[in-house]
Structure 1
């Protein structure tokens, strides 16, 4: 699918066919494409938790305003990020770079993240958002529907999924076959209200 068509046709779908199962090769394709999402310094700190256990999905739904897409979508992905990925063997992220470039980048990574918990979290959330959009557009291109989701008690969900202490949940993405047309678009703001040139 043309990327412009995918962007224009993607909608947040709330009702999925609970009997439809994504083929494993499509799940693999979606994850592979999500892994192409950019991250600062290429630290690739997103983690894609595929929730396939039905009981766990029901428990997550109970913590997420009982939203039906949690249990009815074929695939539920909890997009998390490792806040400390920057210090976990960062040479891995630049193993193919020339040594002088690699050393400069490793020094920059350390300088940017060390003792900066706000930066670590901000970068994690940016990366989760970018990866979510990649997943949703990839799903659209493969003929699936999707829904980005929050409205959850992420602290409790974190306990359910045994989220490591140095990780954070960004959002969920539900993917599957929609069974209802989405509502009409709610109404876009005028471009002049959202596009600012040079300064506010």
Structure 2
């Protein structure tokens, strides 16, 4: 079995997926579970993960993604959408979840809730958009790593019209806004990029110990 370094060497941003190969329900569940466990500031998770399988919707999304074939050929398309109306109610929902999960009194979380609300209230619209987007990207990184660990291919994609995605998926009415997407599935044999050596900065240039 490959170790994590070998698996990360194996992964790449797939350019051509095999449309005949689909994730099993168990594989998809493992990826979504891993993504749910991703790091997030305070643990707040101010974003939602959408798994798009509907072929007709994906055709429309492909048109909003400069006709990139991964959008329709992959097993699933994963859309990371940030909360567009971040406010104190999201903190309240989270602290209630903590209290229920850990069986503690919500009043004992008042101090923690106050810190989070202070952060939320200090952010203007642009700051909130940037902060919530960063949280979504943390989850994207977890998805890509988990996929590699499971031998599942993925391709993170930023080349798309976010406004069109929001319209097609009806996100505005849900208080969400598209941040980034990823196609998941299995590489096609004819995707020649799988045979190319991975190119990254040398470790001595990439890392500096201070």
In structure 2, the partner of 1:52 is 53
Alignment counterpart, residue 113 of structure 2, candidates 106, 109, 128? 106
Q: How many angstroms does 1:51 deviate by?
A: 0.8
Alignment of 1:117-132 (within 5 A): 117-132=125-140
- Please report the TM-score for the alignment, with normalisation by the length of structure 2: 0.84
Does 49-58 or 123-132 show the bigger shift? 123-132
Matched, 1:137 2:137: no
Q: CA RMSD in A?
A: 2.3
Q: Structure 1, residues 107-128: CA drift from partner, whole Å, max 9, x if none? A: 0010001141333222212111
Aligned-partner SS, 1:174: strand
Q: Structure 1 stretches of 5 or more lacking a match?
A: none
Pair 1:91-2:103 in alignment: no
* 1:155 Cα deviation after fit: 0.3
SS of aligned partner of 2:130: helix
Aligned to 1:182, the other structure's residue is in SS state: helix
Question: Structure 1 residue 37: deviation in Å?
Answer: 0.3
CA distance in 1 between counterparts of 2:20 and 2:202 reads 40
Q: If each structure's helix is expressed as a fraction of its own residues, which one has the higher value?
A: 2
- TM-score for both structures, normalised by structure 1: 0.87
Equivalent residues, number = 198
Instruction: Give 1:75 deviation, angstroms.
Output: 1.0
- For 1:168, the equivalent position in structure 2 comes to 177
Structure 2, unpaired ranges of 5+: none
Q: Distance in 1 between matches of 2:7 and 2:87?
A: 32
Q: CA deviation at 1:17?
A: 0.6
